[in-house]
Every structure is written in structure tokens, then in C-alpha cells.
A and B are shown apart, each in its own frame.
Chain A
Amino acid sequence: MSAPPPARRRWDGISFEERMATVDFRVGARAHIAVDADVCRSCTTKACVTACPANLFAPTADGGILFNYEECFECGTCYMVCNSEGALTWTYPDGGHGVVFHHG
């Protein structure tokens, strides 16, 4: 399930969209992140929403999670901080796709 971008906050004069626009993403057709909305609805911490450096996860009004996979740094933060077993499935994007860092 793909979602519209979550509400962005603005720090240091650079909007989040501007920040993310500096990154080279070669988006693949297959979503490499999957969330189980039913499990997420029972989650009280929603740690992925705070910690994901690409801000890909957004809480919904009914307590679930909306997410994007396209602009993902592939860091692994989301599944590491997720404390609900089975809520979040995360694999690498297909070979050659996903983020390409030029100044990493």
C-alpha cells in the first residue's frame, strides 16, 4: 500500500522535500517494505514514524500506518525499532534499484 507523503516539517530553512530531492533514487517496481495494518493499529509507540530518517511512515486517523517505499535510504531503522513482531517486512530492493549515494 502506497501513501501520499506525510505532513512535512521544516527545519533550518530547508524543507524535507528539498532535502530528499538531493538524493538519487532509482525506484523499482516492487515495494520492498510491507506493513501489516492490523498489527500496526495495536501499536502504541509507532517508533518507525519518529525514527525513519526518510520520514516514510505516517500514522493514520484510525491508528494504522501509511508508508512510502520509493524514497528509502535502505538503512533498516524501521524494522529494527519496530517492536511488533510481524508488523513490518523489509527486504532489499531489487538489484540496481533503490537509493544511490554519490557522497556517502
Chain B
Amino acid sequence: MPEVLTFDAVVVGAGPAGAAAALALARAGRSVVLVERGPFPGAKNVYGGVVYGRVLDDIVPNWWEEVPVERWVVRRSTMMMTGTQSLSVDFRTDAWGSAPYNGMTTLRSHFDAWLAGKATGAGARLVASTVATGLVRDGAGRVVGVRTDRDGAELHAPVVIACDGVNSFLAKEAGLLPRAEASHHTLGVKEVLDLPHGAINERFGVQDHEGVDMEILGCTREIPGGGFLYTNADTVSIGVVVSLPQLAASGVRPEELVADLKAHPTIAPLLRGSSLREYAAHLIPEGGYDTMPALASDGMLVAGDAGAMTLAAGLWLEGVNFAIGSGYAAGRAADRALAAGDCSARGLASYRTDLESQFVLADHKRLRKAPSLVLSDRVQQRYPGLLCDLAEGMFTVTNPTPKAGGLKLTRAAAARYGVSLRQLATDTVRGLRIFG
């Protein structure tokens, strides 16, 4: 017989969702084990990335005084580019540079370990270097624990919270997630480059611990996706996120896209003299609200990337905050179900109700149509060039030829990219409906 350890709750995955779930349960006085397959929390995790901290306010008061931050984001730049042009909307504010802050760059090996430390500090038991290899069910088919690869030891509890990430084999085994649905996923590839702190400040126009978040459209050739460039303390993170099925069909290697972006005339001067510190890749569940699994079954809840909680809505690209919000809500729902003595899907149903009432599912529901617009051929392949051409037309002085009007320039740029003014107007209205 394998060894069996029994708890009030088993949480699988010590990323932000799992750490938040374990923290909520431990604070409620529940015995909870947090299983992590990596040697430490965050070891398997990759993101852009920026963490938006508002979700932490109620969970860790004054979190900004202790969180392992790289830089506080005070500039957010949205850039559209072609091979030879770029057009940015660059926003900067003092408001994001002091407490309570807005977003921060941080590294997952630091941030995830910090949040998991909050859970263990509250009494959760972290078991690292251990894979949860499958679900344990009772005679009625209810989930009552997980098997592990530690000599086959089993962890039993009335409720299991699967926070095991984008590939969630537990949610798949429970029948909540499809086995492999490439079209619901994007691939992120990232390079972290060494660059001295002072050089970052000079090149990106910031001071001290201020940071920059750049989102880039038009840098992924014919593959739907986008690019990013974020400043850390003395490194920068640059990469692309691309549609998985279209990457596979394209014949283009992912690292080639990153190399293209690094060589772009707008980007290359920012990176000059840098050297590669770490190359990384990870999948992102980007299908949005309409592709989310059922979030509860008998004895089991799903949170974070395992529940496809990443918000990829063009202007907004968020994930860690959704993982924390959903994980904490899952932990609280599990505690309520334990108190009521009913961990069936019905007993755990308050989890979904809670998520619908707060940003986690409210944002997803509101922006459910965003992926189809953001990933459309026009937004991906035509508008970046159209807008760059329009800007070039506006700002190129053509003396002695008189200036052309904005409408004439728009018409010319639209024609060059095969877009009708009617389509442009329709997409503008559609965008306002989705994002407005």
C-alpha cells in the first residue's frame, strides 16, 4: 500500500493561483498541502511580464513594501510597426511610481516564491520536487486526492484545487479541459538580456526603480500575435506571443521572430551591447471566456491558467492577477464547502458565483469578443502598416507640394493595405463596443 497523507485540502501547483489558494485555506485554519513539481515555486513558470498588484491589496496589506520587485511600471507604450516604421502611443504618469502603484516587473522565480512563502508562513505545507501524477477518486467517482511520484504516495482531502498550469493534466483527467486544443493557446518565447541599470534608465527615459512596459503589434510576420519589451532592474525581457496553430503552419521558427524584433531599427538601439541571460518559452491559454472549462466538479476546483484565466484582450494583457484572484477565491470557496460538509460540485458552486461578481470573470465576460478582433487579419496584418503610413504621410513635409488632408492620406494608406474606409469604420465601432 502506498503511503497516504490526509489534509483538509490539496492544492496542486505553487504558482500564483496555488499559493493564493493555499494562503486562503491556511488562514481559515485548514490543513493544506501545496504540491509543486519544480524544485522551488516559480521554477517552471514564464510570463512577460508585469504583475498588476491591486488584487494583492486585500490579501497582503502593504505588499509593495516587501514584494520582490524589479521595477515599477510608470510608462506604458503601445507600438505598431512594419519592418521599417513604428508608431507609438506612449503614456507616462507619476501616479504609478508611488504606493499603492499599478504594475511592476518581477521575475517568477522571485515573485512566485514570495507568494508561496506567504502561504507557508500561514501554515500551509509546501512539498516541492513532486509531481501530482493523477487523481484519486472514491467509489462514487468523486475526487478525493492526488497520486504523486514520491514512491507513489497519495495526498487525500475532501477537496483538490488544480492550479497546475496551462497544460493542467488534472483538469484534463477530470474531463474539464480538452486534451489538446492548439487554437485556444499561444506560445510565448522570451529572451532576458543583461543590460546595466543606468543604461536602461537612459535608453528608456526612466529613473531609479521606474520601469517601462512596451506592447508591440506588427512584429510577427504573417502569424497572429504580438511582441513585448519590459524593463527589469538590470535586464530587459523581450519576446513574442504567437498563435500556436498558425506558428506550426508557418514554417517560421519562434526564435527567428524574436531575432527579427531585436533587429528592428526602433528596438535595436535600446538593446545595443546587451547579452543573453536566459531563453525561455511557455504556453498561454488565450481562448478567453468562451473556452473556459467548468471550474468545479465533485471534490475539485480549477484556478489560474488551468482554468484558462489569462486575459489576452489586446490593450489588456494580464494573467498573474487573474491567477491570484481565482486562486484566493477557490481557497475561500473550498473553506466554505468544508465548513458545510459538502465538497460536491454543488457545494463548491460559490466559487464561480464569487468570480462572476469580481474582476476575474467580469472582465473576461465583458471582453469575450476581444480575441476575435485582436487576432483578425486586419488588426494583425493591415492596420499596423496602415497607421504607420498615415503617420508618415502626415509628418513628411512635401514642399513645394501642398499638404494632403487627413482623409486623403487615410484613403491612400487604406487602399495600399487593401482596407476599405467602410471596414475601417466598422472595426472602429466594433473596437469601441468591445473596449468602450
A interface residues, Cβ below 8 angstroms from B: 9, 11-12, 14, 16, 18-20, 22-23, 26, 45, 47-48, 50-51, 53-55, 73-77, 79-82, 91-96, 98-104
Contacts and interface: CB of A to CB of B under 8 A. Distances in A.
A47 B156 CA distance: 39
Main secondary structure of the interface of A (DSSP, over half): loop
A74 B255 contact: no
Main secondary structure of the interface of B (DSSP, over half): mixed
Given A18-B276, A77-B281, A95-B150, 8 more contacts: A19-B255, A50-B248, A53-B255, A75-B282, A76-B166, A81-B248, A95-B129, A96-B130
Contact of A22 (B45, B180, B277): B277
Contact of A101 (B45, B130, B133): B45
Interface string B180-210: 1110010101111000000000000000000
Contacts of B247: 50-51, 81
A50 B187 CA distance: 12
A94 B107 CA distance: 24
**Which 6 pairs of residues, A with B, have the shortest CB-CB distance?**
A96-B129, A53-B281, A47-B248, A12-B259, A11-B259, A104-B46
Contacts of A100: 38-39, 43-44
B121 to A, nearest CB: 23
A93 B149 CA distance: 10
Nearest to A16: B255
B308 to A, nearest CB: 13
What bracket does the count of chain B residues touching chain A fall in? Answer: 35 or more
B250 A75 contact: no
Given A12-B262, A51-B187, A81-B245, A23 B283 contact: no
Nearest to B184: A80
Interface in B271-288: 276-283
A16 B304 CA distance: 32
A104 B111 CA distance: 10
Contact of A50 (B44, B107, B253): B253
A48 B251 CA distance: 10
